């Protein structure tokens, strides 16, 4: 398949000679054949010419959830990867949120096979403990050999500090990445939103920032004792940023992510009791958002994730107390980030970090495999259900004004476009 991208602006800071230059890009059989000022189509070539079209290296999300196996009504792997491709993502790491959860090598093989031959590459995680119950370590070494990029009991905090210690020590033997969700359940209790002025006014049970920060501090103390590689997904408080920054200064191998919505929306959005705003970790305060922005800018926070979590309608259209936590986000993350940062910064956030997980970083150069995201930067619109590709529609971004529109992606000798 031959593809010619006409008059595209290249956003790629690692290639200074091409960065922010308008070029034509010719792709033949999945490889970048030429990057020139003007290229004329020859033979059977699909020409893509769209006003204000920009191109960057393919985007990467460090944590998404689908439904399969077990919750196919929320999202199949096939449609989840198609959604990712339409949203500009060429690589996604799959959380352990299925039923049953993946805690063996055969489970990892199943997930990789289910995701093969798609444009977007699926990289599964395996459970840290058997069935995600936090009691016995799962088959970490076998899962790593089968292709698991890390080990995570999705959204379930590791309450047993000694088991975390053992996991970090054991995983060093094969360069394994251990995930630990930042929540101390003994502090959070039955809380469902951020503890503060809004929760008090609304009469909703609160989760104090302390619940996150105690867990982060404990995990970092354990990491300092054991060594190894620790990933803390979706931090949300100012003090968590400070704790991780201090740990990095000590030379600890710790990395972390923040969900895009935790960079944009404060807990004041809860005043209408709209369950689309019920997420975990909860929406925090303006002061937390300010610190998270700073952490993203200075590199303390390694990834901004969509934290894409499809949920069928009956899990959200109930009383706030009874609704499930979670929002989809693949379709809206680019536009939301593009409201906060300039285009170069947004693209940097969406492309960096594969090497933390031992993945190969793509290159935007002649002779390399085409692994590209396509987008515009000057479209401003209100996000609606019509912009959602997922089977589930539980998006926190509905009704939000966002800037920039994803056109599609190219990878694995395939192209997926939205228009």
CATH code for the domain of 188: 3.20.20.140
Unique residue bearing structure tokens 């094969």: 174
Question: pLDDT of 264-316, one tens digit each?
Answer: 999 999 999 999 999 999 999 999 999 999 999 999 999 999 999 999 999 99
For residue 84, give its domain range.
59-357
> Does position 148 have pLDDT exceeding 80, yes or no?
yes
pTM of the model: 0.96
Residues 50 and 65 in one domain: no
- Identify the three-state secondary structure at position 278: coil
- Catalytic entry in 153, 288, 302, 307: 307
Residues 6+ apart with CB under 8 A from 82: 118, 119, 120, 389, 416
Is residue 307 flagged as an active site residue? yes
Question: pLDDT of 346-392, one tens digit each?
Answer: 999 999 999 999 999 999 999 999 999 999 998 899 999 999 999 99
DSSP assignment of 201-263 = HHTPPEE-HHHHHHHHHHHHHHHHHH-SEEEE----SHHHHHHHHHHHHTT-EEEEEEEGGGG
Q: What is the pLDDT of residue 366?
A: 96
For residue 15, what is the domain's CATH number? 2.30.40.10
Residues 158 and 266 in one domain: yes
Residues 85 and 216 in one domain: yes
Residues 99 and 142 in one domain: yes
Residues 218 and 140 in one domain: yes
Unique residue bearing structure tokens 């959604």: 83
Q: What is the pLDDT of residue 16?
A: 84
Residues 215 and 328 in one domain: yes
- Identify the three-state secondary structure at position 335: helix
Residues 304 and 410 in one domain: no
d(CA 187, CA 237): 15
Residues 116 and 188 in one domain: yes
Give the pLDDT band of residue 196 (cuts 50, 70, 90).
very high
Structural domains of the chain, count: 2
d(CA 22, CA 36): 9
> Does position 419 have pLDDT exceeding 80, yes or no?
no
Residues 253 and 303 in one domain: yes
Residues 287 and 197 in one domain: yes
Residues 213 and 96 in one domain: yes
Residues 180 and 298 in one domain: yes
Cis before 392 (ω within 30): no
Q: What is the pLDDT of residue 43?
A: 84
């Amino acid at each position: 398949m031959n593809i010619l991208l006409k008059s595209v602006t290249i956003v790629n800071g690692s290639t200074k000679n091409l960065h922010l230059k308008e070029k034509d890009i010719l792709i033949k059989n999945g490889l970048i054949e030429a990057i020139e000022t003007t290229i004329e189509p020859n033979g059977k070539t699909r020409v893509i010419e769209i006003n204000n079209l920009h191109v960057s290296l393919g985007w990467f999300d460090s944590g998404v959830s689908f439904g399969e196996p077990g919750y196919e009504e929320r999202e199949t792997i096939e449609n989840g990867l198609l959604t990712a491709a339409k949203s500009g993502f060429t690589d996604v790491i799959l959380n352990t949120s299925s039923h049953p959860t993946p805690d063996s090598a055969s489970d990892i093989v199943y997930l990789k096979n289910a995701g093969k031959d798609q444009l977007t590459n699926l990289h599964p995680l395996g459970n840290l403990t058997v069935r995600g119950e936090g009691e016995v370590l799962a088959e970490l070494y076998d899962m790593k050999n089968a292709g698991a990029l890390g080990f995570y009991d999705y959204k379930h905090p590791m309450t047993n500090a000694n088991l975390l210690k053992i996991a970090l020590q054991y995983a060093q033997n094969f360069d394994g990445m251990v995930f630990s969700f930042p929540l101390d359940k003994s502090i959070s209790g039955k809380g469902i939103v951020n503890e503060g002025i809004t929760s008090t006014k609304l009469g909703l049970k609160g989760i104090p920032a302390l619940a996150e920060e105690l867990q982060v501090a404990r995990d970092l103390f354990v990491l300092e004792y054991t060594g190894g590689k620790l990933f803390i997904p979706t931090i949300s408080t100012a003090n968590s940023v400070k704790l991780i920054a201090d740990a990095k200064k000590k030379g600890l191998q710790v990395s972390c992510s923040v969900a895009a919505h935790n960079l944009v929306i404060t807990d004041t959005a809860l005043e209408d009791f709209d369950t689309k705003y019920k997420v975990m970790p909860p929406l925090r305060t303006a002061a937390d958002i300010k610190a998270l922005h700073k952490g993203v800018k200075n590199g303390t926070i390694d990834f901004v994730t969509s934290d894409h979590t499809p949920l069928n309608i009956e899990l959200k259209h109930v009383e706030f107390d009874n609704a499930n936590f979670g929002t989809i986000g693949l379709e809206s993350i680019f536009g939301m980030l593009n409201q906060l940062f300039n285009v170069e910064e947004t693209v940097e956030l969406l492309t960096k970090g594969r090497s933390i997980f031992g993945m190969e970083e793509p290159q935007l150069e002649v002779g390399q495999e085409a692994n590209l995201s396509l987008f515009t930067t000057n479209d401003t619109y209100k996000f609606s259900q019509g912009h959602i590709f997922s089977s589930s529609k539980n998006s926190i971004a509905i009704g939000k004004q966002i800037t920039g529109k994803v056109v599609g992606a190219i990878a694995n000798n395939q192209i997926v476009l939205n228009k």
